[in-house]
Amino acid sequence: MPTSLRSTGTTATSVSLAWNASTDNVGVTGYTLYRDGTQVTTTTGTSYTVGGLTPSTAYAFTVRARDAAGNVSAASQSLSVSTRSDGGGTPPGSTPAAVNGRLKVCGVQLCNQYGKPVQLRGMSSHGLQWYSQCLTNGSLDALAGDWNADVLRISLYVQEGGYETNPRMFTDRVHQLIEMATARGMYALVDWHQLTPGDPNHNLERAKTFFTEIAQRHRGKTNLLYDIANEPNGVSWSRVRSYAEQLIPVIRAQDPATPILVGTHGWGSLGISDGRDETDVINDPVRATNIMYTFHFYAASHGQEYLDALDRASNRIPVFVTEFGTQEASGDGPNDFANAQRYLDLMAARKISWVNWNFSDDQRSGAVFKAGTCGTNGPWTGTTSLKPAGVWVRDRIRTPDSFPTG
């Protein structure tokens, strides 16, 4: 029997649900979800968003497992969830994902459903194997409603105690977080956080397995982005390009429309940290469409040379800053807010989307919450639980978006 059926988010017309996986002697093959005793769907995962509901209405949900022999488990404990009222929370059509719809790359920019360039601003999780407890209904409500974030980067480490140790568990957690971001009207940036070893080809087969399932399950959503190689390092751009050109067709077989972000060499520095520069990418681009290239910077470590590279590259290729910090490259040490602001000014002028590292209570200065915040479940809103970097980046995410619709 599935256990711990729970709600991970609600809107006026939808309820997002998750549950713990069942076990079976011949293998669980899927689950059947019921609403008020009537079957809603079957799914192979452990999360689902039920749509088409009525505002301010209570619904009772149960879930059953089935195995390879055709056996069906007992029903889980019933869960009662009420949808939000039409008059409460965020009005329909006003969330970042609702306004902009499915994104696409147009020229060197990221464009919304109206073909207009947009800039997304948001936060990255820390590694799910370490700080998953910082991603709760309360914290993500605050990220969407108090911080006014447009995007949540879901950082799935491959090594370092991450995906490779338990692919099923970590994939299910990513499914759940995609649903939680979706329920709050944010974009979900799925980050394949390969770091050590630095050659992404080491994890190519794992990446194919992971992204096939993610793309197949969520391809109908219009609020996704795929980040397929976090920080390639110690490897040539040609090796990174080869990896991307092998993985992208696998994703496209399931999801032909979601933008795909490709990490650049030199720890996502467009090659600068490897003694190279952006011309490697410009002169030998990935042979695929609807893609962007990623750039990472840490303001206290990465000075004018890196800023100039971002300036030059963003005029030639589509760039998304999928990670940055106001401190040193370790994510720790003193903040350099002045240099960080120079980057943000350039990114605002060019409409380069960005995500800050990181939405956790890690002891380093780059984690936005003070140590212990996640363990006590907040407080999540306001600034009392925030470190200086958290206060600074929250202020910059909260400034009004400019999402043209016509």
**What number of other Cβ atoms are within 10 A of residue 316's Cβ?**
14
Cβ–Cβ < 8 Å for 359, 397: no
User: Residue 137's closest CA among 180, 173, 96?
Assistant: 180
Among 179, 213, 231, 278, the active-site one is 231
For 133, 173, 185, 235, 301, the CA distances from 196, given in Å and listed in that order, are 24, 22, 33, 11, 21
Enter the tokens of residue 240. 């990174």
**Tokens 């055709």 sit at which residue?**
70
Active site residue 160: no
- d(CA 180, CA 402) in angstroms, rounded, equals 24
Among 179, 278, 323, 328, the active-site one is 323
- d(CA 224, CA 221) in angstroms, rounded, equals 7
Q: What is the full DSSP assignment across 176-239? A: HHHHHHHHTT-EEEEEEE--SSS-GGGGHHHHHHHHHHHHHHHTT-SSEEEE--S---SS-HHH
Q: Show contacts of 372-376: CB within 8 Å, 24+ apart.
A: 373/134, 374/131, 374/133, 374/134, 374/136, 374/139, 375/133
Cβ–Cβ < 8 Å for 382, 363: no
For 56, 159, 244, 286, the CA distances from 291, given in Å and listed in that order, are 40, 25, 10, 8
For 99, 141, 192, 260, 380, the CA distances from 138, given in Å and listed in that order, are 23, 5, 25, 29, 7
Cβ–Cβ < 8 Å for 290, 317: no
Active site residue 305: no
> What are the catalytic residues?
231, 323
